[in-house]
A and B are shown apart, each in its own frame.
Chain A
């Protein structure tokens, strides 16, 4: 037996996001039980495990099927962009067909599963496989009139996989009871590594999750992670805190499109950073967002502008009213508008869609206006997962981003997203209405810029047909952010709007 705790090496699955939560992949040369209820995505996961191996790592695989016929599996995973027949033709995928339409076999006397082991060994040899899937092992023992003997034999089959040096995924049906990993008799011989797929209702929505229950002798992340099954792509795990620490913090600054706001930020925002702009409705968040996008495109950096509030026409019209022609930037391929209704998809689907847009357009900057639309469709936990996962993704892709969010009250108060924003973002800009002596004015404050000095004062700002202008600080008032504002000391003349740009 092993003496020291030598970590088990990992085999990357290639399944999007999974290897991050598995800290590298599945334990190499071992079997992992993949348990889940019907429809939880087990066969999809298993098939993609083989397909990714073949396509991304030049590793062949054997698919041992006990439930469906090979032709059914080929058809079912084709919609995920997996061309099983093509992989078979190039010798990177082989089926061992153990499907059951022949019914239960009568048992008279002693038997073993050597025929299955021999067929597996033959198929593994034929394609030089290093990956294997048994789908599902729970389907084997009921095929024999004495299931107890079959389970003992199945344990031998699993041992033989290890002797062949294969990294195996063994699927198993699972009842919805949380206490039982898999139906009886399956987990008893594959307890070292267990992954559970779930398809659970949460409020009015259903959510797919994957959880690594254990990897013996190997690290993994704990907890449930959301995933989506994406047509043409396969499984996409959306990792919470995928890359929790930023690898590189850039010292380079990026202008946000307003020299005045750049000054308050201490010289713009850092490249690859995440900036958060919060404020009540109508105060100018979309203006800040559009300005940022236009400045990016004008600087020759592709920008993706995602709007969950307005149509492309509205965005164009608004930008024109601030003296900004977005059509020219779009025509030059420097700007792409994506306008979506939050309600048409789940948070996971939005995450996947945004990721696909990013992969297609490869922007250097990204603007989302505004997150509150997404808050409407998700749960608190779901929204936090989304934000953590998405900002991590942006950092990994080295994209400078700006998000807007609506605060509930007109004069202050925070939002759901805002409550978590400080840990996720690098810079926070608050926009607030302010009522002073019977006049509603606009206030702007840079709450934080991570790793930088910045202006801490609350400034007045105005909007005209050239955009946003930062005015004087409200030096003699307090409580502006939290409301109501209180004047300190003597009467102060209302500051005139400052078209200082």
Chain B
């Protein structure tokens, strides 16, 4: 089991989906090394999975582990903001340092 687990809901086969997954991977590599796993869910082929988490928007990323869970909507095109929103800045402490928590 990877230390960092993510699930990302996308509309399969779209440019936005590919970009979002690539951006998530980039953020993970920057902040989680190689100890992460990403599950990609296509809401068109698996609407039931979107129903479980009451997903409205695509892309939506859920950080499942470590807790607490985080939900972020969007294609994560701004890597620093994505890292903060997903609460990934702690291990390195580089971004979070100095932020009020």
Indicate if the CB atoms of B23 and A116 lie closer than 8 Å. Answer: no
Q: Is B60 an interface residue (CB 8 A)?
A: yes
Indicate if the CB atoms of B43 and A110 lie closer than 8 Å. Answer: no
Indicate if the CB atoms of B54 and A118 lie closer than 8 Å. Answer: no
State whether A105 and B82 are in contact (beta carbons under 8 Å apart), knowing that A114-B43, A115-B55 are contacts in the complex. Answer: no
| Interface mask (B54-77 → A, CB under 8 Å = 1, otherwise 0) | 111111100000000011111111
Q: Is B11 an interface residue (CB 8 A)?
A: yes
Which bucket holds chain A's interface residue count? 20 to 34
A165 to B33, CA, bound (A): 49
A473 to B44, CA, bound (A): 86
Indicate if the CB atoms of A108 and B74 lie closer than 8 Å. Answer: yes
| Interface mask (B38-54 → A, CB under 8 Å = 1, otherwise 0) | 00000110011011001
Find chain A residues with CB under 8 A from B73 CB: 105-108, 111, 144
A122 to B46, CA, bound (A): 9
Contact sample, A vs B, 9 pairs, CB 8 Å cutoff? A105-B71, A105-B73, A106-B85, A111-B73, A115-B11, A116-B57, A119-B47, A123-B47, A144-B73
Nearest to A122 among chain B residues (CB) is: B47
A140 to B47, CA, bound (A): 19
Seed contacts A112-B16, A118-B11, A123-B47; 11 additional CB < 8 Å A-B pairs = A106-B70, A106-B73, A108-B76, A111-B57, A111-B58, A111-B60, A112-B57, A118-B43, A119-B47, A119-B55, A122-B48
Find chain A residues with CB under 8 A from B74 CB: 107-111
Find chain A residues with CB under 8 A from B77 CB: 108-110
B residues contacting A by CB (< 8 A) are 9, 11, 16, 20, 23, 43-44, 47-48, 50-51, 54-60, 70-78, 81-82, 85
Residue in A106, A108, A114, A143 whose CB lies within 8 Å of B11: A114
State how many angstroms separate the Cβ of A141 from the closest Cβ of chain B: 11
Nearest to A125 among chain B residues (CB) is: B47
Which of A23-31, A45-53, A91-99, A401-409 contacts its partner?
Answer: A91-99
State how many angstroms separate the Cβ of A230 from the closest Cβ of chain B: 33
State how many angstroms separate the Cβ of A310 from the closest Cβ of chain B: 59
Find chain B residues with CB under 8 A from A119 CB: 43, 47, 50-51, 55
Find chain B residues with CB under 8 A from A110 CB: 16, 74-75, 77
A119 to B58, CA, bound (A): 12
Nearest to B14 among chain A residues (CB) is: A114
Indicate if the CB atoms of A98 and B54 lie closer than 8 Å. Answer: yes
Nearest to A116 among chain B residues (CB) is: B56
State how many angstroms separate the Cβ of B21 from the closest Cβ of chain A: 12
State how many angstroms separate the Cβ of A199 from the closest Cβ of chain B: 30
State how many angstroms separate the Cβ of B6 from the closest Cβ of chain A: 14
Residue in A111, A115, A143, A153 whose CB lies within 8 Å of B50: A115
Indicate if the CB atoms of B75 and A111 lie closer than 8 Å. Answer: yes
A122 to B57, CA, bound (A): 15
Find chain A residues with CB under 8 A from B50 CB: 115, 118-119
State how many angstroms separate the Cβ of A2 from the closest Cβ of chain B: 32
Indicate if the CB atoms of A118 and B44 lie closer than 8 Å. Answer: yes
Find chain B residues with CB under 8 A from A108 CB: 72-78, 81-82, 85
State whether A97 and B51 are in contact (beta carbons under 8 Å apart), knowing that A112-B57, A115-B43 are contacts in the complex. Answer: yes
Q: Is A299 an interface residue (CB 8 A)?
A: no
State how many angstroms separate the Cβ of B42 from the closest Cβ of chain A: 9
A116 to B47, CA, bound (A): 9
Q: Is A396 an interface residue (CB 8 A)?
A: no
State how many angstroms separate the Cβ of B63 from the closest Cβ of chain A: 11
Indicate if the CB atoms of B54 and A97 lie closer than 8 Å. Answer: yes
Q: Is A113 an interface residue (CB 8 A)?
A: yes
The 10 closest A-B pairs by CB, nearest first: A109-B74, A122-B47, A109-B77, A109-B75, A106-B85, A108-B74, A118-B43, A116-B56, A105-B73, A115-B55
Residue in B20, B56, B72 whose CB lies within 8 Å of A143: B56
A123 to B50, CA, bound (A): 12
Indicate if the CB atoms of A115 and B57 lie closer than 8 Å. Answer: yes
Find chain A residues with CB under 8 A from B60 CB: 105, 111, 115
State how many angstroms separate the Cβ of B2 from the closest Cβ of chain A: 22
Q: Is A245 an interface residue (CB 8 A)?
A: no
Residue in A102, A115, A121, A144 whose CB lies within 8 Å of B58: A115
A111 to B75, CA, bound (A): 6
State how many angstroms separate the Cβ of B8 from the closest Cβ of chain A: 11
State whether A115 and B56 are in contact (beta carbons under 8 Å apart), knowing that A96-B51, A106-B71, A110-B16 are contacts in the complex. Answer: yes
Indicate if the CB atoms of A113 and B56 lie closer than 8 Å. Answer: yes
Indicate if the CB atoms of B43 and A105 lie closer than 8 Å. Answer: no
Indicate if the CB atoms of B51 and A111 lie closer than 8 Å. Answer: no
Find chain B residues with CB under 8 A from A111 CB: 57-60, 73-75
Most buried by A among B9, B23, B51: B51
State whether A102 and B85 are in contact (beta carbons under 8 Å apart), knowing that A109-B76, A118-B44 are contacts in the complex. Answer: no
State whether A106 and B58 are in contact (beta carbons under 8 Å apart), knowing that A115-B43, A118-B47, A118-B50 are contacts in the complex. Answer: no
Q: Which of A116-131 contact B (CB under 8 A)?
A: 116, 118-119, 121-123
Nearest to A121 among chain B residues (CB) is: B47
Nearest to A103 among chain B residues (CB) is: B71
Nearest to A145 among chain B residues (CB) is: B73
A20 to B40, CA, bound (A): 50
Residue in A96, A97, A105, A121 whose CB lies within 8 Å of B57: A105
A106 to B72, CA, bound (A): 5
State how many angstroms separate the Cβ of A104 from the closest Cβ of chain B: 9
A202 to B20, CA, bound (A): 56
A121 to B43, CA, bound (A): 11
Indicate if the CB atoms of B71 and A102 lie closer than 8 Å. Answer: yes
